[in-house]
Amino acid sequence: MRKLCLFIATSLDGYIAKPNNDLSFLKLVEKEGEDYGYAEFTSSIDTIILGRKTYDYVLKEIGTSHYDNGDRDVYVITRTERPQQGRTIFYTGNIAALINRLKSEQGKNIYCDGGAELIDALLQQDLIDEMIISIIPVLVGDGTRLFKDGRPEQTLEFIEAKTFETGLTQLHYKRKKE
Amino acid sequence: MRKLCLFIATSLDGYIAKPNNDLSFLKLVEKEGEDYGYAEFTSSIDTIILGRKTYDYVLKEIGTSHYDNGDRDVYVITRTERPQQGRTIFYTGNIAALINRLKSEQGKNIYCDGGAELIDALLQQDLIDEMIISIIPVLVGDGTRLFKDGRPEQTLEFIEAKTFETGLTQLHYKRKKE
């Protein structure tokens, strides 16, 4: 069955962005020719789901091409109806229903690209199957947390840890089999 | 110079305890004969500093022997004056002054054993030199966070990551040289 996977970077103190969506700390680990497994990861997925605020942010900063490269479906989770654009669908329905439908269909894995609100909604309903979390060697001190307070407990199975010259450590977990 | 070191376990979502000081998730990684480097670490220190709430908790759960084994100084940071007990000193003064004095003296390293309030006070003043953080493979969902919001940014130097059969990953960082 298709899996819903998280692939995300966080500071050691657990923030995916500093206040005002400041992602400048990611520059600490930028290195020519090092993508930290991103290309390999994205070759394993054919569907992206992300929150509307994250979509708008990426649209403004990078452009639609970052998501909608023509060979994958993009679901933007939003409260506001909007017409489909190419393979980008603006989804206003129940998130669990969407994920369960996608998982029941044939295809590669599904990539949740954030943001924190959507990740929280998915964790609340225990819908995430694998997590690849890249820990940047910095305490940023404040901002948007990857994990919000008030979720159910979930035991994980550790798969592996990869370390990189830049000091980034990538931790890979999957849902613990019941 | 002596270093102030943190050696602490956290869930992947960044909690050192669940609500009501529930530490039961640490049992997930308990394994006969595996101390995750604790004995080796404590052989490198001769002084412990910890917060009063953590001290009271350990006193109730384990007893004084956990800290005051006779061959190390214990500083309990508190707002309430209390007479010294053996080598356990109840310290009501300025924390930075204490740490700077201890660091200027001869001796082994200094171990901060928590809790979250003291760690936050130390991070606010950039007094921690090394951090050894053991990540337990679980999302506990809520509780006491290792890192509170609202600290200054601090870039770290990654030293190493150790993985263990139980799924625990131990990340080791030191203060970045300026």
The residue type of B118 is L
- Say how many domains are in chain B: 1
Q: How far is CA B165 from the centre of its chain?
A: 23
CA distance to partner chain B, nearest, from residue A159 (Å): 8
Three-state secondary structure call for residue B27: helix
Residue with token string 């992947």: B12
Q: pLDDT, tens digit, for every residue of B54-104?
A: 999 988 888 877 777 778 999 999 999 999 998 999 999 999 999 999 999
Sign of CA dihedral A17, A19, A24, A25: negative
Q: Counting beta carbons within 10 angstroms of the beta carbon of residue A160, is it exposed (0 to 12), middle (13 to 18) or buried (19 or more)?
A: exposed
C-beta atoms of B151 and A28 within 8 A: no
Query: Which member of B137, B141, B147 has the closest CB to residue A14?
Result: B147
C-beta atoms of A137 and B155 within 8 A: yes
pLDDT number for residue A67: 76
Return the H-helix or E-strand segment holding A59: helix A52-61
pLDDT at B167 over 70: yes
Interface of A with B in 68-87 (CB under 8 A): none
Average pLDDT value for residue range B14-25: 96
Average pLDDT value for residue range B26-42: 97
Average pLDDT value for residue range B151-156: 97
Q: The domain that contains B148 carries what CATH number?
A: 3.40.430.10
C-beta atoms of B171 and A167 within 8 A: no
The three state secondary structure string of chain B is CCCEEEEEEEECCCEEEEHHHECHHHHHHCCCCCCCCHHHHHCCEEEEEEEHHHHHHHHHHCCHHHCCCCCCEEEEECCCCCCCECCEEEECCCHHHHHHHHHHCCCCEEEECCCHHHHHHHHHCCCCCEEEEEEECEECCCCEECCCCCCCCEEEEEEEEEECCCCCEEEEEEECCC
ipTM of the complex: 0.96
- pLDDT > 90 in chain B, percent: 89
Distance CA(B141)–CA(B152), nearest Å, equals: 25
Distance CA(A99)–CA(A3), nearest Å, equals: 10
pLDDT number for residue A178: 60
Kindly state whether B62 is in contact with chain A, defined as any CB-CB distance less than 8 angstroms.
no
Three-state secondary structure call for residue B139: strand
Domain range for residue A135? 4-175
- DSSP 3-state helix, strand, coil percentages of chain A (rounded to 5)? 25, 35, 40
C-beta atoms of A135 and B167 within 8 A: no
Of B178 and B84, more confident: B84
Phi, psi of B125 (to 5 degrees): -110, 15
pLDDT in tens, chain A (178 residues): 999 999 999 999 999 999 999 999 999 999 999 999 999 999 999 999 999 999 999 888 888 777 777 789 999 999 999 999 989 999 999 999 999 999 999 999 999 999 999 999 999 999 999 999 999 999 999 999 999 999 999 999 999 999 999 999 999 999 987 6
Farthest-apart Cα atoms in chain A, separation: 45
Q: pLDDT, tens digit, for every residue of B36-58?
A: 999 999 999 999 999 999 999 98
Chain mean pLDDT for chain B:
95
Q: Tell me which chain A residues have a C-beta less than 8 angstroms from the C-beta of B12.
A: 131, 133, 147, 156, 171, 173
The number of helices, as runs of H, and strands, as runs of E, in chain A is 4, 11
CA distance to partner chain B, nearest, from residue A9 (Å): 13
Average pLDDT value for residue range B129-139: 98
Residue with token string 């269909």: A105
pLDDT number for residue B178: 60
C-beta atoms of A163 and B167 within 8 A: no
Kindly state whether B152 is in contact with chain A, defined as any CB-CB distance less than 8 angstroms.
yes
The residue length of chain B stands at: 178
Farthest-apart Cα atoms in chain B, separation: 45
Residue B167 and residue B137 in contact, taking contact as beta carbons nearer than 8 Å:
yes
Distance CA(B139)–CA(A156), nearest Å, equals: 7
Its pTM stands at 0.96
The three state secondary structure string of A141-178 is CCCEECCCCCCCCEEEEEEEEEECCCCCEEEEEEECCC
The residue type of B22 is D
C-beta atoms of A13 and B12 within 8 A: no
Q: Tell me which chain A residues have a C-beta less than 8 angstroms from the C-beta of B170.
A: none
CB atoms under 10 Å from CB of A31, counted, come to 11
